[in-house]
Amino acid sequence: MSEIGLFEAMYTARALRRLKPDPVPDEVIAKVLEAATQAPSGGNAQNWIFLVVRDKSQRQKIGAVYRKASDEVAEIYAARGRPNYMTEEQFARLMKGGAYLWDHMGDAPVLLIPCARKREMPPPEKLPDAVAKRYDAHLAQQDRIWGASVYPAIQNINLACRALGLGTVITTNHILYEDEVRQILGLPDDIFTFALMPIGYPLGKYGPLARRPISEVVYSDRWGEPWTAKP
């Protein structure tokens, strides 16, 4: 297969939730995993571990947890309503696509679960006074950036799937019942899951994406000052 360009991949890698049940060769999944591990992480810690679930009974158990969690998340979406930048049609499509996956997560031939190992902070007594005094701020910063070290790898998975003709979508609803997923997978206490990605050959088509224009989401130098250049 000839490779597509980076920008084409970024502009067409939409959420593909409808997947064929056909198996994906392990070597293809290995290529996706290698792309994941090329991502940056804080301090190049590479504290990630990827669980590749192909066993049918494991997939079904995880799919059931996803379903249970999604029933709750659907109520949050319904209560929030349609965001004003989406048309009725776009919002309806999002909800319909999401609902399809509630019942089919376990049918994807591969469930890829990017995880990370929690890095402990050194105790305050091991730090110089000036830093120990700000220990709570450091804990809060660690808490905020912890997941940020996994999501670049997750987006690499998204793009690698696109390049290799696979479909996937980043999902996170299962985290509402993460303890159950942790038990199914036998995860050690310091390993946590950051996404659940069904992977398979797509039934749907790639891109184009519906995204807000940069004029709506970018400011120049300070809040409220418009950015005017166009690509």
Ligand X SMILES: Cc1cc2nc3c(=O)[nH]c(=O)nc-3n(C[C@H](O)[C@H](O)[C@H](O)COP(=O)(O)O)c2cc1C
Residues at the site binding ligand X, with contacts judged by CB under 6 A:
14-15, 94, 98, 101, 169-173, 209-210
- Closest C-alpha to 199, from 231, 171, 158, 167: 167
Query: What's the min distance (Å) between Cβ of 98 and ligand X?
Result: 4
**Could you give the CA distance from residue 197 to residue 114 in angstroms, rounded to a whole number?**
8
Instruction: Please check whether residue 44 is in contact with residue 195, taking contact to mean a CB–CB distance below 8 angstroms.
Output: no
What is the rounded CA–CA span in Å between residue 196 and residue 52?
Answer: 10
Q: Which is nearer to ligand X, 159 or 187 (CB)?
A: 159
Task: Please report where in the chains the tokens 């970024």 appear, as a residue.
Answer: 10
| 86 CB-contact burial (10 Å; exposed 0-12 / middle 13-18 / buried 19+) | middle
Q: How far is the CB of 100 from ligand X (least distance, A)?
A: 9
- Helices 56-80 and 178-185 sit at what angle, rounded to 10 degrees? 170
Which letter does DSSP use for residue 39 in this model? Answer: S
Shortest CB 157 distance to ligand X, Å = 12
Integer Cα distance of 95 and 98 in angstroms? 5
Residue 15 beta carbon to ligand X: minimum distance, rounded to whole angstroms: 4
Q: How far is the CB of 36 from ligand X (least distance, A)?
A: 15
Closer residue to ligand X in complex, CB, 135/146: 146
The Cα–Cα gap between 196 and 204 comes to 19
What's the closest the beta carbon of residue 43 comes to ligand X, in angstroms? 22
| 135 or 177: CB nearest ligand X | 177
Task: Write down the least CB distance from residue 54 to ligand X, Å.
Answer: 21
As given in the structure block, the two tokens for residue 195 are 């996404």
Write down the number of H helices and E strands in the chain.
9, 4
Output 169 or 184, the one with its CB closest to ligand X: 169
Between 76 and 130, name the residue whose CB sits nearer to ligand X: 76
149 or 173: CB nearest ligand X: 173
Are 22 and 138 contacting, i.e. CB atoms less than 8 angstroms apart?
no
